[in-house]
A = this chain, B = another copy of it.
Amino acid sequence: MNNILIIGAGRSSTALINYVLEKAKFYNWFVTVADANHEVALKKINGHPNGRGTWLDATKVNDRRELIQRADVVVSLLPPHLHFEVAQDCIKLKRHLITASYISKQLYALGDEARSKALIFMGEMGLDPGIDHMSGKQKIDEIIAKGGRLKSFRSYTGGLVAPESDDNPWHYKFTWNPRNVVLAGQGTAQYLEEGKLKYIPYNRLFTQYRTVNVPNMGEWEAYPNRDSLLYRELYDLGPIPNLLRGTLRHKGFCDAWNAIIQIGLTDGSFPILDSEEITYHELMESFVSNKATGSSVKEKIANMLGEPSADSPVMQKLEWLGLFRKKKLRIKSATPALILEQLLLEKWKLKDTEQDMVIMQHEFEYELNRQMRRLTSTLVLKGTDGNNTAMSRLVGLPIGIFVKLVMLGKINSIGVNIPVLKEVYEPVLEELKEYGVIFQEKDEVLKDKV
């Protein structure tokens, strides 16, 4: 095996491509990077002798198959809805496949076929999902191996702005897919608390955040992320009474984001009429309740939201976004969610000179030798600058390392998997340490003689 194909050379690919090219020299691999934008693909290869950048419209079956045919391992960094077609090609052409996206039901259904052809289909191999699976499952396996009984597993991740570059009242900048941030949480979140199922509908999600203390980094807010119950089975946790996956945000973020939701700005299902012609101020006026009181649109919005004044911390954040400006939107047939996304793209942009920061923290409570103990495992990683973010490093490196392991024949787990397998997480986490991906641990006694 000596051919690697990476489809998609977008934001998350830099660290992966650099890693694989670096190893390519040593192992004598050849790396093809294919993207709809040929120049971007070329730029990522940057003249490396073991690399080639090529143009690919991933929806063109024949072009796609021709490239896949010539590879041994395929990495798909395409938008999630395009993975399935690539996966079908990989089945047909007998190629291994790696992605960083959540595995869809459709993709899981290819498991038997992949296994019968001895193919490795690894999904959720980036950051979240990815490093969270690996670092969480490693600790779980360790606790169980030494005879511990797990009572609680709460895992939090946030793609954030580093304090050094934090200069806005939201204390947030985009380091990942802005659309996902705007639409986050729609539906009903699910988790386990004291052995009971808990559900939070979207309209209450950002009011029911909890406070998470991160060693040396102070307190953060965390809101429950999607369906935490899934992880009982994925991590083989048995009847654990507390299970929660959450997203970390700076203090004050959740209340203000809840205001955005309550106003109605996260709906992506209908276009605002004449959105090209109206101003932000008019947009906000359109959402004012007929029961709100106040002498200005801003006062009415504050009253509608139940804010103590039009100058409250939440209202200041809305004001800072420019939502009350008499400036035209200038976007045609835009949904509220798209208008918001475009506005935030400008306001929450991480500049080239700025640093992002990823925090991941797992909290385990377990019984061992008649003691209740708590293990806190924390990763804090900052980016170098706006183009070399912690986020892209943490998404790209685990994929790169895993590609290497597959190329070297060190992976036996065929079929469709996520990286909760020891033969995957052990070597990947070990090598990640060389890149500064180091979890700090604190193991303490909560209660004696239980």
Contact = CB atoms under 8 A, between A and B. Distances in A.
Interface of A: 187-188, 190, 193, 196-204, 207-208, 210, 227, 229, 261-264, 267, 269-270, 272-274, 282, 285-291, 304, 336
22 contacts: A187-B269, A188-B267, A188-B336, A196-B285, A197-B272, A199-B286, A199-B336, A200-B264, A200-B287, A200-B289, A201-B262, A201-B263, A202-B203, A203-B203, A203-B261, A203-B264, A204-B262, A207-B291, A208-B289, A208-B290, A208-B291, A210-B290
Given A198-B290, A208-B289, A227-B270, 13 more contacts: A187-B269, A188-B269, A190-B270, A196-B286, A197-B274, A197-B286, A199-B264, A199-B287, A200-B289, A201-B264, A203-B261, A207-B289, A208-B291
Contacts of A203: 202-203, 261-262, 264
B196 A290 contact: no
A263 B208 CA distance: 13
A346 to B, nearest CB: 23
A197 B262 contact: no
Contacts of A272: 197, 199
Given A208-B291, A291-B207, A273 B197 contact: yes
Instruction: Kindly list the 4 A-B residue pairs having the minimum CB-CB distance in the complex, ordered from nearest.
Output: A201-B264, A203-B203, A197-B286, A188-B267
A267 B207 contact: no
A256 to B, nearest CB: 16
Contacts of A285: 196
A263 B274 CA distance: 34
A197 B273 CA distance: 8
Contacts of A286: 196-199
A190 B286 CA distance: 9
A159 B86 CA distance: 51
Contacts of A289: 200, 204, 207-208
Nearest to A285: B196
B197 A229 contact: no
A208 B274 CA distance: 24
Contacts of A207: 289, 291
Given A196-B285, A291-B208, A267 B227 contact: no
A396 B364 CA distance: 62
Nearest to A274: B197
A269 B193 CA distance: 22
A264 B188 contact: yes
Contacts of A197: 272-274, 286
A267 B201 contact: yes
A208 to B, nearest CB: 5
Nearest to A288: B198
A213 B210 CA distance: 46
Contacts of A336: 188, 199
A173 B178 CA distance: 44
Contacts of A287: 198-201
A203 B207 CA distance: 14
Contacts of A202: 203
Contacts of A193: 290
Nearest to A304: B204
Contacts of A282: 196
A291 B208 CA distance: 7
A229 B273 CA distance: 9
Nearest to A264: B201
Contacts of A199: 264, 272, 286-287, 336
A336 B199 CA distance: 10
A190 B272 CA distance: 9
A202 B304 CA distance: 15
A184 to B, nearest CB: 15
A322 to B, nearest CB: 19
Contacts of A274: 197
A197 B288 CA distance: 10
A402 to B, nearest CB: 31
A135 B2 CA distance: 75
Given A262-B203, A264-B201, A270 B196 contact: no
